[in-house]
């Protein structure tokens, strides 16, 4: 039996989102190609010891999808042979479904063999 592997990517993307707003982002050159991808929005604690902490954050990942492109590359216009370049992007949309401004970062995970 083959064991699956897991990959965790902190995109280092720090976002601030108003209530009801949605943001779209993506990760270029996602690898491995055959992975099953997921995205999560991880909120930061806001406030301070001086002002206090009173936070109720609700974020929803509404969509995750894969965008795959293949580009033909010919060494010269008359060439009989071609190379290809492919790229996989993982896109995501995150919505603030709470009642206050949310500050968060995006993490991606992938499961693959």
Domain locations in the chain as residue ranges:
5-112
Each residue of 30-60: pLDDT tens digit?
998 889 999 999 999 887 788 777 888 999 9
Per-residue tokens: 26: 């993506």
pLDDT, residue 88, reads 94
**Do 90 and 27 touch, CB atoms closer than 8 A?**
yes
pLDDT, residue 74, reads 80
Residue with tokens 């968060």: 104
- Decide: residue 35, CB within 10 A, 0-12 exposed, 13-18 middle, 19+ buried: buried
């Amino acid at each position: 039996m083959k064991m699956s592997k897991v990959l965790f990517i902190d995109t280092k993307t720090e976002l601030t989102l108003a209530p009801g707003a949605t943001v779209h982002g993506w990760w270029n050159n996602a690898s491995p190609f055959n992975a099953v991808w997921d995205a999560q929005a991880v909120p930061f604690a806001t406030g301070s010891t001086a002002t206090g902490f009173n936070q109720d954050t609700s974020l929803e990942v509404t969509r995750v999808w894969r965008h795959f492109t293949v580009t033909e590359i010919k060494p010269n216009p008359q060439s009989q042979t071609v190379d290809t370049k492919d790229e996989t992007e993982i896109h995501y949309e995150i919505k603030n479904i709470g009642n206050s401004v949310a500050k968060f970062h995006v993490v991606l995970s992938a499961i693959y063999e």
